[in-house]
Homo-oligomer: A and B are copies of this chain.
């Protein structure tokens, strides 16, 4: 069986398991701060996915949010790399019991191979094999059209606007846009750009497992992703992220980001630590 079909089945099975586990009490722990949560379901889902991959593809390299696989810095570009977030949008999972996703990006010899973002509670699997278009379940996603920022909805978490440095930069983008939305899962926000529901999404820091799956899907419909200074997103480190349709991505980059190069480079350096 091709890795693509195997991965698709694996993601759906992992989603079924999550729905079952949600019928029991959920254990919640904090990680880096009181608002950075992890649950037994995050861990059990990554265990399930990791162990299943290792049984079927023992040579695969894996990076997972909850600690499975290699440290990102030890990643070798050769061979197949799986980048896994078992539950993207853990706060939504805990507080809403919906609006979270399983995200998986698969790379082969450093090149994108396939992306999966499974909106578990809506039973919508967004998936793409590089070069073959993107789908939601069995329906193709259309190529996304360009838009002007002033006639666009953009995705941005309100929390960033209260921060001293990035808040000042993001404020200008929000004021230039038609309006802003915040759904609370980076993978689903990127997918919302791929679906044409948002023209862009931006955030000062994501880990590779937050964006790897969504980005491959987005690229298949003509959308683009980079860091906030237009540089490529790599799998070996956290990045600031700006995704969008081509026109609005370029407009935000040229009008609002490149002029803030010094501030953004300082933020990038801080966030890499």
Question: Which chain A residues have a beta carbon within 8 Å of chain B's beta carbons?
Answer: 34-35, 91-92, 95-96, 98, 150, 152-153, 156-159, 161-162, 171, 174-175, 178-184, 197, 199
> Which residue of B150, B152, B182, B199 is within 8 Å of A180 (Cβ)?
B182
- Assess whether B95 is in contact with A153, with CB atoms less than 8 Å apart: yes
- Assess whether A184 is in contact with B96, with CB atoms less than 8 Å apart: no
Question: Which residues of B lie under 8 Å from residue A183 when comparing CB positions?
Answer: 181, 183
CA distance A246 to B264 in the complex (A): 41
CA distance A161 to B157 in the complex (A): 11
> Which residue of B34, B95, B161, B162 is within 8 Å of A150 (Cβ)?
B34
Main secondary structure of the interface of A (DSSP, over half): mixed
Residue of B with least CB distance to A96: B197
Known: A158-B174, A158-B181. 4 other contacts (CB 8 A): A35-B179, A158-B158, A158-B161, A182-B182
Residue of B with least CB distance to A167: B161
Question: Which residues of B lie under 8 Å from residue A199 when comparing CB positions?
Answer: 95
Residue of B with least CB distance to A91: B179
List 8 A-B residue pairs with CB atoms under 8 Å apart, sorted by A's residue number.
A34-B150, A35-B178, A96-B153, A153-B184, A158-B174, A159-B179, A162-B175, A182-B182
Question: Which residues of B lie under 8 Å from residue A180 when comparing CB positions?
Answer: 157-159, 182
Question: Which residues of B lie under 8 Å from residue A181 when comparing CB positions?
Answer: 158, 182-184
- Assess whether B175 is in contact with A184, with CB atoms less than 8 Å apart: no
CA distance A260 to B50 in the complex (A): 52
Residue of B with least CB distance to A154: B158
CA distance A60 to B68 in the complex (A): 64
CA distance A91 to B182 in the complex (A): 14
> Which residue of B98, B157, B174, B184 is within 8 Å of A159 (Cβ)?
B174
Residue of B with least CB distance to A182: B182
- Assess whether B158 is in contact with A156, with CB atoms less than 8 Å apart: yes
Question: Which residues of B lie under 8 Å from residue A178 when comparing CB positions?
Answer: 34-35, 91, 95
CA distance A179 to B182 in the complex (A): 10
Chain B min CB distance to A270 (Å): 19
Question: Which residues of B lie under 8 Å from residue A95 when comparing CB positions?
Answer: 152-153, 178, 197, 199
CA distance A95 to B197 in the complex (A): 6
CA distance A34 to B176 in the complex (A): 12
Question: Which residues of B lie under 8 Å from residue A98 when comparing CB positions?
Answer: 197
Question: Which residues of B lie under 8 Å from residue A156 when comparing CB positions?
Answer: 158
CA distance A15 to B26 in the complex (A): 37
- Assess whether B179 is in contact with A157, with CB atoms less than 8 Å apart: yes
Chain B min CB distance to A86 (Å): 19
- Assess whether B159 is in contact with A162, with CB atoms less than 8 Å apart: no
